[in-house]
């Protein structure tokens, strides 16, 4: 992979390219977080891309909400640029919104708990394609979500083949994008791999003026694809903050692609009052 702006961490724009054969990660264990929940709402997360970066653990500890801790992988902090299409959102069984694209930057966290640590993700910033989607998802998830012009393109392939995807989002009259070329299906998830690390953080944490909230996420086993080639062009400073420019100017630690799954997300539960 070649990454531009590697020597210009303070630059406004960040471009990075990845071109490699992804490691085949066998998948024989279901994530411990994939368990039935009483749904607050349901949806389908489709055409999901995660581009994962190593990040300074001291920085992550500083920005992680009090009551949660960064969950490190082999002693290193990680953040992920996540793009997906959310389809068929249903509240109490009734359809409430049509499809929309989403992009965000998430942090992997753990919550110390008497019954054992809980794991999840915390979105540092999240954007969606439509104003109505931003309003609705704010209400359903208690997350701070903003609207931004977005679109998604993909090639037409059989369901058993990985798609080639492109997500685009417009920042101050300039289109940023992610381009992914899938390769072959991952058959197993081995313990202690980067993929297993990502999958066990299925639950969601949110923060507002009342405190820290947690929603559980349940889904069938994810269908994960190897990535043969990936490229992204992202105005990191404007979208997520200058503190992430340096980390996202480096070569990604890993890239994952999923065709998506039906998900059930529980009603947010207050776990840490403000």
Helix (H, G, I), strand (E, B) or coil at 238: helix
CB 214 within 8 A of CB 269: yes
Hey, which bits of the chain come out as E strands?
3-4, 14-19, 39-55, 69-70, 77-91, 94-97, 100-111, 118-128, 146-147, 150-154, 164-171, 174-185, 203-208, 211-215, 217-218, 224-234, 254-266, 269-273
CATH number at residue 130: 2.40.400.10
pLDDT of 182 reads 86
CB 100 within 8 A of CB 83: no
pLDDT in tens, 13-71: 444 444 343 343 343 333 444 456 789 999 999 999 999 999 999 999 999 999 999 99
pLDDT of 26 reads 40
CB proximity list for 112: less than 8 A, separation 6 or greater: 69
Average pLDDT of 112-134? 94
pLDDT of 35 reads 57
Distance CA 231, CA 18 (A): 6
pLDDT of 10 reads 40
CB proximity list for 139: less than 8 A, separation 6 or greater: none
pLDDT value at 2 more than 80? no
What is the domain range of residue 161?
3-273
Total number of domains in the chain: 1
pLDDT in tens, 93-104: 899 998 999 999
pLDDT in tens, 150-191: 999 998 888 778 889 999 999 999 999 999 998 888 888 899
What is the value of pTM for the model shown?
0.85
Mean pLDDT of the chain: 87
pLDDT in tens, 203-253: 999 999 999 999 999 998 888 988 888 999 999 999 999 999 999 999 999
Please give the structure tokens belonging to residue 57. Answer: 């653990």
pLDDT of 97 reads 92
- Cα 115 → chain centroid: 26
Distance CA 216, CA 208 (A): 18
Query: 3-state secondary structure string, 73-142?
Result: ECCEEEEEEEEEEEEEEEECCEEEECCEEEEEEEEEEEECCCCCCEEEEEEEEEEECCHHHHHHHHHHHC
- Judged by average pLDDT, the poorest of 85-89, 141-145, 147-151, 244-248 is 141-145
pLDDT of 226 reads 82
Residue 248: which of 257, 237, 259, 258 has the closest Cα? 237
pLDDT of 174 reads 95
Please give the structure tokens belonging to residue 46. Answer: 């489709």
pLDDT value at 272 more than 50? yes
């Amino acid at each position: 992979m070649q990454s531009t702006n590697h020597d210009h961490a303070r630059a406004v724009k960040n471009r990075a390219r990845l071109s490699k054969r992804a490691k085949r990660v066998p998948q024989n264990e279901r994530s411990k977080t994939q368990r039935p929940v009483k749904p607050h709402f349901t949806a389908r997360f489709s055409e999901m891309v995660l581009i994962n970066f190593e990040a300074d653990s001291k920085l992550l500890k500083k920005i992680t909400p009090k009551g949660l801790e960064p969950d490190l992988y082999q002693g290193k902090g990680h953040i992920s640029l996540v793009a997906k299409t959310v389809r068929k959102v249903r509240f109490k069984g009734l359809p409430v919104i049509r499809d929309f694209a989403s992009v965000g930057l998430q942090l992997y966290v753990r919550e110390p708990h008497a019954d054992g640590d809980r794991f999840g993700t915390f979105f540092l910033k999240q954007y969606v394609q439509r104003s109505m989607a931003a309003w609705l998802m704010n209400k359903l998830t208690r997350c701070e979500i903003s609207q931004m012009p977005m679109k998604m393109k993909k090639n037409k392939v059989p369901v058993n083949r990985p798609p080639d995807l492109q997500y685009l989002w417009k920042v101050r009259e300039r289109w940023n994008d992610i381009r992914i070329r899938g390769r072959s299906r991952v058959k197993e998830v081995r313990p202690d791999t980067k993929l297993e690390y990502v999958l066990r953080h299925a639950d969601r944490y949110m923060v507002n003026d009342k405190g820290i909230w947690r929603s559980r996420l349940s889904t069938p086993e994810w269908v994960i694809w190897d990535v043969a080639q990936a490229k992204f062009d992202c105005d990191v400073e404007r979208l997520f903050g200058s503190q992430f420019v340096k980390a996202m100017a480096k070569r990604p630690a890993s890239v994952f692609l999923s065709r998506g799954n039906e998900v059930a997300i529980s009603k947010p539960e207050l776990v840490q009052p403000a």
